[in-house]
């Protein structure tokens, strides 16, 4: 497998991918390691996770540079991702014992009812490339704390990062085989699906997720899907903080080059503030610096995948053919690397792919609406349900809209935000199951009820 730097289009490493037989061997080792690991106390497991977090901090600079080189994320955002991952790990370190320790839920003389939380066994963590540390730690940290072994399949666009993560675990002294990275593209992931693992935790696109879920269903083991989105943002009337709203919306749409599962993918603006908002929005977009992602002042790096340029170009052409108007950008840069100009299209509607299909790039459509009711109708017009944002001075108005939206997260005056304390989940084509929060700690264990009677 050739690892290509998307900023230079140069091959930075040639990797040997795992064969089917090697993946089967890895599964065998993982099963053995898991039996040792589950016997360790939760406190001992947490000590190992602390070591991992410490190593991550120590290597931050080197790991951030590697991530930038292999998937194009600007270096400042790569550093931020590793710091964000550490914050999430800290949450798990501080809270896991509380939610995984055996509990006596009822007792009377001679009789006890107890819940214990058992590991699933060996689980597959099949991951996307856009935030390999963040979406990785959402799964592999609570999975390991819960006593499982992990076969981690990073995307083909973040293989080197995946191998570094495995190296860190090995340096923490975990039983050999407890955490193993699977090297290879989709076919390596498919081999994991073909094996009898005890849980499947997938982050990626709806299309791949659906194909995997269909196959895992027959195994009768836990399965979670964290999939894509077409996340809407609505700017309501009477908003005196339009400049701040525009700046926040630009960040929500263009951070990580728009390649976030919860990126703002479409914007609706009340007619009373529409013109002011789009002027402020475009001013902000024109200030985004595009260039070498190793330059710490750069905000827009290259896309991770070359083929995404065609997807963006197609959405722009389709929108223009249906009456959309380009206010900035509109094409790929004529330079080495997969760079695409940050692009804003207005006069949009829901006949356009731009407003209905996942974009996953530095491109946003803005549509004018006459009132909250129309905004709500349009925001709901999607099979996805990951997040939605309302920018308004009135919390109650925002909650009324957010409460009616079938999404896993609702944002008032913010967007593209993830907290370790809150559940991360989707609805519809954005998937199902939960990571993060106390609910996400328990996603990787199975409860067992004990009925304990002293006398027969
Ligand atoms: P893909 O669906 O293309 O790939 C996801 C993972 O699945 C990759 O590791 C991929 O390997 C692997 N894979 C591909 N085919 C198979 C197969 N047949 N069997 C098993 N595994 C397979 O998604 P992307 O990596 O392109 O990620 C982008 C998508 O992820 C977007 O839709 C985004 O919204 C979503 N996402 C959702 C998140 C959430 O929390 N809801 C978070 C982050 C991203 P390879 O890449 O090597 O082909």
Query: At 313, which CATH number?
Result: 3.40.309.10
Specify whether 147 is located in the same domain as 9. yes
Q: Is residue 343 in some structural domain?
A: yes
Both 281 and 211 in one domain: the answer is no
Instruction: Compute the distance from residue 280 Cα to the ligand 1 centre, in Å.
Output: 34
Q: How far is the CA of 223 from the centre of ligand 1 (A)?
A: 15
| Same domain as 309, residue 446 | no
Mean pLDDT of 346-363: 98
Which atom of ligand 1 is the closest one to the Cα of 153?
A: 9
Residues 392 and 271 in one domain: yes
pLDDT score, position 25: 98
What are 213-257's pLDDT values in tens digits? 999 999 999 999 999 999 999 999 989 999 999 999 999 999 999
**Same domain, yes or no: 278 and 251:** yes
Domain-embedded: residue 129? yes
**Do 182 and 311 fall within a single domain?**
no
Domain presence at residue 65: yes
Query: Which residue, 436, 430, 399, is CA-closest to 207?
Result: 430
Round to whole Å and give the CA distance between 288 and 301.
10
pLDDT category, 120, cuts 50, 70, 90? very high
Cβ-count burial of 126 within 10 angstroms (0-12 exposed, 13-18 middle, 19+ buried)?
A: buried
Q: Quick check: helix, strand or coil at residue 317?
A: helix
Pair 361, 261 in one domain: yes
Ligand 1 atom having least distance to the Cα of 204: 30
In a domain, 7, yes or no: yes
Q: Is 226 a catalytic residue?
A: yes
Q: What is the mean pLDDT of the chain?
A: 98
Span 409-427, average pLDDT: 98
Q: Which residues line ligand 1 (CB under 6 A)?
A: 126-131, 135, 153, 155-156, 185-186, 189-190, 193, 203-205, 208, 211-212, 226-229, 261, 358, 360, 386, 426, 430-431
Task: Provide the residue range defining the domain that includes 347.
Answer: 231-412
Domain annotation covers residue 421: no
Average pLDDT over residues 56-78: 98
Q: Is residue 265 in a domain?
A: yes
If asked whether residues 242 and 216 sit together in one domain, one would say no
Q: In total, how many domains does the chain have?
A: 2
The CATH number for 19's domain is 3.40.605.10
Q: Summarize the confidence of residues 343-364 as an average pLDDT.
A: 98
Sheet holding 325-328, edge to edge: 325-328, 343-346, 363-369, 264-270, 231-235, 387-391, 409-412
| 362 and 218 inside one domain | no
The answer to whether the CB of 351 falls within 8 A of the CB of 378 is no
Cα R_g (the chain), whole angstroms: 23
345 and 242 within one domain: yes
pTM above 0.75, yes or no: yes
User: Domain check: are 34 and 103 in the same one?
Assistant: yes
**Structural domain includes residue 420:** no
- Does residue 424 lie within any of the structural domains? no
Q: Are residues 163 and 186 in the same domain?
A: yes
pLDDT class of 287 with cuts at 50, 70, 90: very high
């Amino acid at each position: 497998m050739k690892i290509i730097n998307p900023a230079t289009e140069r091959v930075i490493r040639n990797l040997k991918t795992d064969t089917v037989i090697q993946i089967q061997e890895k599964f065998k080792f993982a099963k053995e390691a898991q039996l040792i690991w589950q016997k360790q106390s939760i406190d001992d497991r947490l000590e190992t996770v602390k070591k991992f977090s410490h190593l991550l901090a120590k290597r931050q600079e080197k790991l951030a540079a590697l991530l930038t080189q292999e998937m194009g994320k600007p270096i400042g955002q790569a550093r931020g991702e590793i710091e964000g991952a550490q914050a999430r790990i800290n949450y798990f370190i501080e809270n896991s014992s509380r939610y995984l320790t055996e509990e006596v839920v009822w007792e009377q003389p001679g009789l006890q009812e107890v819940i214990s939380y058992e590991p699933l066994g060996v689980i597959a963590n099949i991951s996307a490339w856009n935030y390999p540390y963040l979406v990785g730690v959402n799964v592999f940290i609570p999975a390991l704390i819960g006593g499982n072994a992990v076969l981690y399949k990073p995307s083909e666009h973040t293989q080197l990062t995946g191998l570094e993560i495995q190296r860190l675990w090995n340096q923490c002294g975990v039983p050999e085989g407890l955490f193993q990275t699977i090297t290879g593209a989709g076919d390596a992931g498919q081999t994991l699906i073909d094996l009898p693992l005890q849980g499947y935790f997938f982050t990626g696109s709806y299309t791949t997720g659906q194909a995997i879920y269909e196959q895992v269903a027959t195994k009768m083991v836990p399965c979670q899907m964290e999939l894509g989105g077409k996340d809407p943002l609505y700017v309501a009337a009477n908003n005196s903080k339009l400049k701040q709203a525009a700046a926040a919306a630009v960040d929500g749409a263009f951070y990580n080059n728009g390649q976030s599962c919860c990126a703002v993918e479409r914007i609706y603006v009340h007619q009373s503030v529409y013109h002011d908002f789009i002027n402020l929005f475009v001013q902000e977009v024109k200030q985004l610096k595009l260039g070498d992602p190793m330059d710490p002042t750069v905000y827009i790096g290259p896309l991770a995948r070359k083929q995404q340029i065609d997807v963006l170009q197609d959405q722009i052409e389709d929108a223009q053919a249906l009456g959309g108007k380009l206010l900035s950008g509109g094409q790929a840069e004529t330079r080495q690397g997969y760079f695409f100009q940050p692009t804003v299209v207005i006069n949009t509607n829901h006949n356009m792919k731009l407003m209905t299909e996942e974009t996953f790039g530095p491109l946003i459509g803005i549509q004018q609406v006459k009132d909250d009711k129309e905004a709500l109708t349009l925001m709901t017009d999607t099979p996805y349900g990951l997040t939605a944002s309302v920018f308004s001075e009135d919390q109650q108005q925002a909650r009324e809209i957010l409460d009616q939206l079938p999404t896993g997260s609702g944002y008032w005056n913010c967007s593209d935000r993830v907290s370790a304390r809150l559940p991360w989940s989707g609805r519809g084509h954005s998937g199902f199951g939960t990571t993060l929060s106390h609910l996400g700690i328990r996603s990787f264990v199975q409860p067992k009820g004990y009925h304990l009677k002293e006398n027969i």
